[in-house]
Amino acid sequence: MHGEVRGTVTADSLQTVLDHYSAGDWRAHRALVTGDVIQDDTAEAYERFRELLLQLKLRVHCVPGNHDFPDLMRPVCSRPPFSYCAREEIGNWLLIGIDSYVKGTAGGSVSAAELDRLSAIVADSPAKHVMVFVHHPPVPMGSVWLDSVGLDNGKEFLEHLHTLERVRVLAFGHVHQDYDEIHDGIRILATPSTCRQFKPGSTRFAVDDKPPAYRRIELNADGSVGGELIWVEP
Ligand SMILES: [Fe+2]
């Protein structure tokens, strides 16, 4: 497994991030993986991803990205302690993974069926607060090339989240850079990659010189959201 992104072996870079977590004192209750999980396009690559993440000894929630292969990913990432586009209630909070994968395109979309599934899960849950995670960005990043491969119905998706009234935070991947804004009361977060980053605000594809990263997200009982973005210097 030696797949690279711009000269960085993604599995090695992920291991560096996991080592940073293991060496620290902060402990998570769950891991969220927002897609584009592999660089070697094989079922074995998903098994390798599992082996790496199993070091955390956590339940791992996954959603697929445009670089994923759902037919290969789903079986591997549905076996405990991994979950694929799943729901889970923890205390006052409900977590839901949403599928935005569209075959044959780098961009994404949340289907009507997926919106219905989301509504039904929230309606069925007694949780006071909801966190949604998805691969593609529902908001423009201010980067011409990246905004051409975002969530094609991002506005509709955000409006849908507002109608559910209990969604406090939405996390996404795909953009390989930090994003942390509040849109009409919903905290919207993107976390940089565990590998190489993209240059914010660029017109054309451009790689940034920032290191790998992960984000600690703290879901408080009162519905507030804390945490910290962690850059992992080599
Ligand atoms: Fe992506």
User: Looking at domain 4-215, does it have CATH number 3.30.70.3150?
Assistant: no
Range list of H helices, 80-212 = 112-124, 144-147, 154-164
Q: Calculate how far, in angstroms, residue 92's C-alpha sits from the geometric centre of ligand 1.
A: 30
The residues placing their C-beta within 5 Å of ligand 1, an ion, are 36, 65-66, 174
Q: At residue 168, does pLDDT exceed 70?
A: yes
Q: Calculate how far, in angstroms, residue 151's C-alpha sits from the geometric centre of ligand 1.
A: 10
pLDDT in tens, 85-98: 999 999 999 999 99
Q: What is the residue extent of each domain of the chain?
A: 4-215
Q: Are 77 and 119 in contact (CB under 8 A)?
A: no
Q: Calculate how far, in angstroms, residue 26's C-alpha sits from the geometric centre of ligand 1.
A: 28
Q: Are 61 and 32 in contact (CB under 8 A)?
A: yes
pLDDT at 61: 98
**Mean predicted lDDT score pLDDT of the chain:** 95
Q: Calculate how far, in angstroms, residue 123's C-alpha sits from the geometric centre of ligand 1.
A: 29
pLDDT in tens, 18-46: 999 999 999 999 999 999 999 788 999 99
Give the span between the Cα atoms of 223 and 209, in whole angstroms: 35
pLDDT at 40: 80
Q: Calculate how far, in angstroms, residue 221's C-alpha sits from the geometric centre of ligand 1.
A: 31
pLDDT at 5: 62
Q: Calculate how far, in angstroms, residue 196's C-alpha sits from the geometric centre of ligand 1.
A: 13
